[in-house]
Structure 1
Amino acid sequence: MPVRTAHPGVYIEELPSSVRTIGAVTTSVTAFVGHTRRGPLNQPVRITSFADFERRFGGLTARSAVGHAVHQFFGNGGSAAVIVRVAASGSGEEAEVTLESTEDGSARPVLRVTAREAGVWGSGLRVFVDHDTRRPDETFNLRITDANGEARESYTGLSMHPGHGRYVETVVNEGSELVRVRVTGEGRPDPSGTVSKPFGAELPDPAVELTVKIGKTERSFTLYDPAVDGPAPVTVTELALLLERKLRALPDAPGKRAFARAEATAFGDRIQVVAGSADPRDTVRFLGECANDLGLEGSVNPPVFPLTGGADGDPPGPRDLIGSEDLKTGLHALRDADDVNLLSLPELAAYESTEDMVTVISAAVALCEERRIFLLVDAPASWTSVDRARAGLAAFDPVRSDYAALYFPQVRLTDPLTGRLRAFPPSGAVAGVTARTDGERGVWKAAAGTEARLAGVRSLTVRITDRESGLLNPLGVNCLRTFPVLGPLVWGARTLEGADGLDSDWKYVPVRRLALHIEESLHRGLQWVVFEPNSEQLWQQIRLDASSFLHTLFRQGAFKGRTPREAYYVKCDADTTTEQDIAQGVVNVVVGFAPVRPAEFVVVKIQQIAGQFEI
């Protein structure tokens, strides 16, 4: 705001900088699309480690190559990935359990708890309910545990009334990553375990012999012994603590801890007793007249309510993997993901039909061209020799694109699930090497050569010689090779359009990826231009911003040329934007750059010197 002068003197005014910095976008965030054990269907989820993948998507499974590809990605230097879980249409079931209420004497369903995602994993969830709240006659607590009884999520003070501030559907459905709930009737769900009858103003005599049965194990004990237990309990809480201590002192069945971890909790004028077990069969039952006199012969429920019926979805077919653009399913779920630079579809390598594989690749390439993503294609598992690769390569002619690169052969690693060597599609490891190279050298450096080591790879399914590499490289196939001392390496940097016969400007992977990096950075960095006055002042600002960004890349070694003039140019003036363009609201910016291309062939000429020479 201009300074308003009121008195003679010196005024200070801060002026905003006219330079708007164009930041470099990410280059190596890799999307993996395919089958996983769990996770939200057709939703892109960003992860930053394999531990994240295990927590959100269930880890490795023998039914899918996606988990192994993600594992290899992070093992080779990857730092961020986007996972899209896809399953066959109509397959997969969410585990669920319906909680009942017997508050009015008759059992009726009141709350359905369903795993948030389809899969067998949901059948390992357990629900624990208690009424130990500030209002034990109105509200309840809900705890979600795993199959071992370890707490995963806990929600307190819940209500079944929609107008309540802690309405169960609102609180759980908005906060839980494990389950969703739906109210199906009136009344609160019954608490877990055994709940006593209400105690009066005075507690009954606790010096009695009690018999308790947990599961199939029955034990008897003295609840209160003045010589051992000190003063007698005078409150419900003291009685619950005494009962819990006595239960935990009883011997367990072999291999179980149902008694050792038993819990007795007081809420209001009642006691809730549960076995220290996540086994629904371990119900707590107090037997005999003494138990009835103490009010412990109440309702009997399992210690936890297990979710059941979860089923994994079948691996997706070609149509499922492609998905729907309108519904944003399958590959098209990536339309909701930002900062995706590489795409891996490791399940394609196992397809028996090359036609199905090419169909999916065609859809993936179209998406990549629209979203500025680069596709890493795995060679089919059926290519078990160089001859088979050469014979099968013709099937990929319809999808030869400079937005994709093909890698052959598959890699052999130790399968963490079995401990044995097994072949895997290489795209996950290649993506990790690419991410590592981007971080160490830059996107303009080919992720190939002696620095492109494949960590964790024991061997390759096909050992390729120099001669065989010379047959595949001119066809646009990037070979993985094993060298003495160095081990398995990525030994190719061509796009699928990089065959010698196609003579493409986008022959090399780093050139295409550098162009994508520049395009995406300028696309985001020039958003401020929209709706600005289309004048020479704007054009000058665009030239300044874009040139500043490109000059940074030039100083890092992204372009060839000794001077900036030789390396890049930015043109935005009256020659690029005519009066007609201005009338139509268009400003044209022309950017050119001279990329550095990889030294694919190194020729060393050696000559013998004949005769003497002087120094």
Structure 2
Amino acid sequence: MPEYLSPGVYVEEVDAGPRPIAGVSTSTAGMVGVTVRGPYTGKPKLVTSFLEFQRVFGGFLPEPEPGLRDRWAGDPDEGGRWWLFPLAVKGFFDNGGQRLYVKRVASRQATPSSGALGHGLVSQITGNAAKKATSLRLAHLIGFTGVGQRVDIVRGDDQRLIHTAGITGYDVANRRIELDAELPAEVRASRGDYVQVGERAAEQTLRFSAVSPGSWGGAVQVRVQPVVGAALPVLPDPQEGTAFATRLAATAAQDSTTVEVDAVPGLDPDELPADVWVLIGVTRYQVQVGQPASGRVTLTFPANTSHPEWQPGEAVRRVRRGNPAGAGRTLRVGGASRLYRDAVVQVDNGTTLTTRTVDKIAEDVVTFTEDLPGALFDSDRLHLVEAQVDVRFTDPAGAVVEETFGNLRLTGDEPANLVTTLANRSQLVRATALPGLSTDPARFPTPSVGSWLSLTDGGSDAYAALTVADFVGEDGGSGQRTGIVALEDIDEVSVCAVPGVWSGTVESALVTHCELLKDRFAVLDPRDGLDIEGIQAFRESFDTKYAALYYPWLVTRDPLSNRDVEVPPSGHLAGIYARVDVERGVHKAPANVVIRGVRLTDGIAQDVTKRHQDLLNPKGINALRFFPGLGHRVWGARTLSSDSTWKYVNVRRLFLFLEESIDEGTQWVVFEPNDEALWALVRQTITNFLTTVWRSGALAGTTADEAFFVACDRSTMTEDDLQNGRLICQIGVAPVFPAEFVIFRIQQKTRETQLS
């Protein structure tokens, strides 16, 4: 309790009254099945629409080759049509499902696709160029050396050489190079044409693999290219003095030794060093500054300086050196905090591109591992060289999924490291650094041909090795479970299914899963094509209040094969459960509800008549029927329990809702003092919750006292219970049972003559 040790005012918060219980969700489903791709390890993945399912797990599965298909579909005891799982997921969302946790099943022998990059220097052509053109626009100039360098121009479709030329000029800002010869043929960016410098090496630098096993990874392509992470200005040396900006005061002839400029503040030879550099146009010139006269100053060029003719008004601006002493390892850089140890920068002095590696950084002073390439000016920029990874996947339907990760570091343990970033963020690939990996831009990771690497090595679904044990799964601990067992990681799941699999082992495992956790309900699928006798025989194996069985299968359109196929009903029914829960409540039986996402005519695989259902309904087999004018409907709401107390689906699920809500809403009671005050608080907390449930129509009775009771006092606990730390609360509720049989008794009535 609080301590009051000195005089003063004490403000305290005191809990008053019962704590509210929030009803848990009952419309979240969990399904286990085979998908094209998607996460195989870890916890089940939440998807909230079929489009999201396709983006994460891929689209529809093709039917396996006949031998494998018949081995599964022809096994009456341990078989299934697992390739229909995506259609069942679509049925879930078509029928109103909103949240679905999916656990992918894959064969233990399935392997991911992979591929390795060598190294070289490649730059994509980003702009079309006509025949006889002499300039090209590229994706980057990182790793290039500048004027005089020879480059190969290659077609992107068939990898044929278009042209070999030398670079006569370049523009880093616009990523353009000028060539010393005309192009003999047009160049097209849409074709994937590119420029290559030197030869490519086969030494492996990076290995990429698909994020999950399966042949789907063969359609994944990866490209790694250098990018400019930041353009950092060179800061002038403090001894360089002030800058000035002026204009030409008179016309300057071509290659003239002097020019006249307007006198401006800062343009004073007494305050400037002996050698001054100015920028006229885009070119730097060394000049000597004369004494001002008549508002003008004469700038004198060194002998043999070449320049074009300039007109009056041409801008002249002083550029200051960042390293007046010339070559050295240190330089003041603006925004040096963007750099880091071992960062690679590209230095541009106008004619040459040079790369250097950062050794250390102290405020704005950067020290490199090698001397800088001569003098650098405040008009120069250091371009931080980093990597960009582009990933694209084209599914069988032609849809393209793309990922781009920029500003990555090839090496190092930083969060921006390429390998770490892909492991944390990519849904398509993972990367492994190999011994040949280098930060040298001229040895950047590239494929042996082209600019995209296709992950064509390995990659197998190994469907032939798929077994029922893969669906049942193994318990490796939280986040390491597989199959049905993995659904235990998600507490929110309230309805679960393994669509298309009628294996006794799998469905028994699903039922056991629900019975052990006691907070979820299973929807089972029978074998397809069963007749009335066959479905009755199939049902005989089950006796559980935690599952329901629906018959027969449904008919829908398979977009992949563009034909009608029979699909298991569990996916559609799980969606119907969710829809009814949201629209009416968990106490409403999920029956007499239209089934969506099936063929408009003959959407049910076998016709079930009333006489058929007279045999099925008493045994807990819920029929799916067609009624003219009413469509395809669910016409049954029974569990697979032999206990008549739990024969209705909605009653069983209502109690699951109540039990889970009370369990989660009363966790605060644990370790509280076990006395009358706590008992009264627990009674009031549960009473308030059940009153709300009763008012929603979930409980029978015209008054709350008729609908439920809550007892938590000396009558429910003995002294032994109290001494052993047990608080026992007894709760009774009166559920609303569905009107399964609506009976109208009609009799003839003799007309009675009334006498006035």
TM-score, normalization by structure 2: 0.61
Partner of 1:304: 452
Structure 1 segment 567-582 matched on structure 2, within 5 A: 567-582=707-722
Deviations along 1:169-209, one digit per CA (max 9) or x if unpaired, are 22222222222111111433787xxx8x9xxxxxxxxxxxx
Cα distance in 1 for residues equivalent to 2:436 and 2:673: 62
Q: How does 1:484-499 map to 2 (within 5 A)?
A: 484-497=628-641
Deviation at 1:514, TM superposition (A): 0.4
> Counterpart in 2 of 1:322?
472
Deviates most, 419-428 or 452-461? 452-461
Offset of 1:13 from its aligned partner?
Answer: 6.6
Instruction: Using the TM superposition, give the Cα deviation of residue 152 of structure 1 relative to its aligned residue in structure 2, in angstroms.
Output: 2.5
1:443 aligns with 2:567: no
Distance, in Å, in 2 between the alignment partners of 1:612 and 1:344 is 61
Q: Does 1:145 align with 2:291?
A: no
In 1, the alpha carbon distance for the partners of 2:89 and 2:120 equals 48
The residue aligned with 2:524 is 377
Q: Alignment partner of 2:550: what SS?
A: strand
Cα distance per residue 1:139-178 (max 9 Å; x no partner): 5313223257978223333334334563222222222222
More strand by share: 2
Distance in structure 1 (CA, Å) of the matches to 2:39 and 2:731: 41
C-alpha distance in structure 2 between counterparts of 1:102 and 1:76, whole Å: 53
Show CA shifts across 1:53-98 (max 9, x none): 00010021134121001101100111111101012221x2212121
C-alpha contact 2:38 2:104 (8 A) present in aligned 1: yes
Question: Identity rate of aligned residues, in percent?
Answer: 37
Normalized per residue, which structure has more helix? 1
How far is the alpha carbon of 1:556 from its aligned partner? 0.4
Helix, strand or coil at the partner of 2:227: coil
Query: In 2, Cα distance between the equivalents of 1:382 and 1:7?
Result: 82
What's the CA shift for 1:509? 0.6
Write the distance in 2 (CA, Å) between the matches of 1:521 and 1:34: 29
Instruction: Note the alpha carbon deviations across 1:557-615, whole angstroms, 9 max, x for none.
Output: 11111111111111111222222222222211211111111111111111111022659
Q: What residue in structure 2 maps to residue 397 of structure 1?
A: 540
Whichever residue aligns with residue 504 of structure 2, its letter is: V
| Alignment check: 8 A CA contact 1:430 1:454 kept | no
492 and 367 in structure 1: CA distance in 2 versus 1, 3 angstrom threshold:
same
Contact 2:392–2:403 at 8 Å: present in 1 too?
no
Report deviation, 1:6: 6.7
Name the counterpart of 2:226. Answer: 131
Is the contact made by 1:318 and 1:359 (CA closer than 8 Å) also made in structure 2?
yes
User: Given that residues 476 and 495 in structure 1 are in contact (C-alpha distance below 8 angstroms), is that contact kept between their aligned partners in structure 2?
Assistant: yes
Aligned to 2:91: 72
Counterpart CA distance in 2 for 1:368 and 1:151 is: 36
Structure 1 residues not aligned, in runs of 5+: 198-266, 275-279, 281-299, 350-356
Question: SS of the residue aligned with 2:751?
Answer: coil
Paired residues for 1:151-162 under 5 Å: 152-162=402-412
For residue 343 of structure 1, give the secondary structure of its aligned residue in structure 2.
strand
CA distance in 2, matches of 1:387, 1:487: 26
Tell me the equivalent position of 1:340: 493
2-structure distance, mates of 1:167, 1:454: 48
Measured in 1, the distance between the counterparts of 2:496 and 2:709 equals 31
In 2, Cα distance between equivalents of 1:614 and 1:145: 90
1:41 aligned onto 2:40: yes
- Rg (Cα) greater in structure: 2
Q: 1:461 to 1:552 in 2, by over 3 A?
A: same
Establish whether residue 530 from structure 1 lines up as the match of residue 670 from structure 2: yes
Output the CA distance in 1 between the equivalents of 2:532 and 2:679: 54
Residue range with higher mean Cα deviation, 65-74 or 171-180: 171-180
Q: Aligned-pair RMSD on alpha carbons?
A: 2.9
CA contact (8 A) 2:556 2:597 kept: no
Aligned to 1:427: 570
Query: Could you say which residue in structure 2 is the equivalent of 1:111?
Result: 206
Q: Judging changes above 3 Å, is the alpha-carbon distance between structure 1 residues 126 and 68 closer, same or farther for their aligned structure 2 residues?
A: same
CA contact under 8 A between 2:411 and 2:439: conserved in structure 1? no
Determine the structure 1 residue equivalent to 2:270: none
Aligned to 1:399, the other structure's residue is in SS state coil
2:651 maps to 511
Which residue of structure 2 aligns with residue 362 of structure 1?
508
Secondary structure (helix, strand or coil) at the match of 2:501 reads: helix
- Look up the SS of the partner of 2:644 in the other structure: coil
User: What is the aligned counterpart of 1:169 among 419, 439, 459?
Assistant: 419
- Aligned equivalents of 1:313 and 1:376: distance in 2? 28
**Aligned with 2:32: secondary structure?**
strand
Whether the aligned pair in 2 keeps the contact of 1:406 and 1:476 (CA below 8 Å) is yes
Q: What amino acid is the match of 1:337?
A: I
